Amino acid sequence: MSNDDGAPRPARRLLHTSDVHLGAYDSGRSEQRDVLRAELEQGFRSIIDKCRIENVDALLIAGDFFDNARVREETLEFAATEIARAEIPVVLLPGNHDHVGSSGSVYDRFDFVGAAPNLHLMRAPGGETVSLGDAEIEVWGRSHTEEEPNFTPFADAPPRGEAAWQIGIGHGHYIHPAAALQHSFHIYETELEAMDRDYVALGHWERLVRVAAGSMTAAYSGAPESLSGSIGGRVLLVDLQEDGSVQLEASSLEDEPSLAHHEIPLLVGVDPETIRRR
């Protein structure tokens, strides 16, 4: 597995988030929706602040960045302005709520890369590799298009590339061996192992959890602002360390204590019906 030649690798730090759902409260006007909308935007603003404060080298957004394709124009402008403010490479993988493809994508409404030149918007339905910064990190992912009902984020992913750090990013439902199979966008442990990446950044679940994947690390960051309750509120700082190991820290956006790698829940024996997804 992985890069085992023992040569030291350049230490890097990523920030992993997902399921931001910007624009979820854009339709209709009411005082309550305006409050919720402001909270959602503040969540993303806090993520960009954290990138700047924590010396993050790249930001990964693992799908459902926007809630739908009809969000307000000012939400699109807000998003692009904040991404540009990060001043580091930002990898944005579209999920099922903000899919790309021929049927009305939110990303066709606005020139995001023009407004935020540091943005890497993954649009290739077959999957693509993005090389970041000084080319020590490569990120592979496959975006949702909503044209394939049996979409699988990681099936038949290409082998590792040449860069020191090999990262996967995907938006889908991790299939725990105990899980029922009716969910969509399946991600299997065998696929994660076959990808042979150093870290896989997952989205689609609002909940923060590591998933068992052999000797590699794969995790859901959870949503920065939960649309359905008290879960969420954290992002994952991903330290790629010189010895080749990957260390996570779940950092709060609301002044809660951080969770160290071993304190982040690991998916074992959980009832899959308790996991909220959008």
Least distance between Mn ion and beta carbon 187 (Å): 12
Burial (CB < 10 A; 0-12, 13-18, 19+), residue 238, is buried
- 95 contributes a contact to Mn ion by CB under 5 A: yes
Least distance between Mn ion and beta carbon 175 (Å): 15
Q: Considering all CA atoms of the chain, what is the largest pairwise distance in Å, rounded to the nearest integer?
A: 58
Q: What residue is closest to Mn ion based on CB?
A: 204
- 186 contributes a contact to Mn ion by CB under 5 A: no
**Residues 144 and 151: beta-carbon distance below 8 Å:** yes
**Residues 80 and 115: beta-carbon distance below 8 Å:** yes
Least distance between Mn ion and beta carbon 275 (Å): 12
Choose the stretch contacting Mn ion; rule: CB under 5 A; options: 65-73, 96-104, 232-240, 268-276.
Answer: 96-104
What are the φ/ψ torsions at residue 86 (nearest 5 degrees)?
-65, -35
Least distance between Mn ion and beta carbon 41 (Å): 19
**Residues 167 and 137: beta-carbon distance below 8 Å:** yes
Rounded Cα gap, residues 189 and 9, in angstroms:
26
- 145 contributes a contact to Mn ion by CB under 5 A: no
- 96 contributes a contact to Mn ion by CB under 5 A: yes
Least distance between Mn ion and beta carbon 59 (Å): 18
Rounded Cα gap, residues 54 and 193, in angstroms:
30
Rounded Cα gap, residues 43 and 166, in angstroms:
28
Rounded Cα gap, residues 71 and 19, in angstroms:
15
- 105 contributes a contact to Mn ion by CB under 5 A: no
Site string for Mn ion, 203-242 (x = CB under 5 A): -x--------------------------------------
Closer residue to Mn ion (CB): 62 or 137:
62
Could you say which residues in the range 34-93 bind Mn ion, by CB under 5 A? 64
Closer residue to Mn ion (CB): 96 or 145:
96
Interface residues toward Mn ion, by CB under 5 A: 64, 95-96, 204, 278
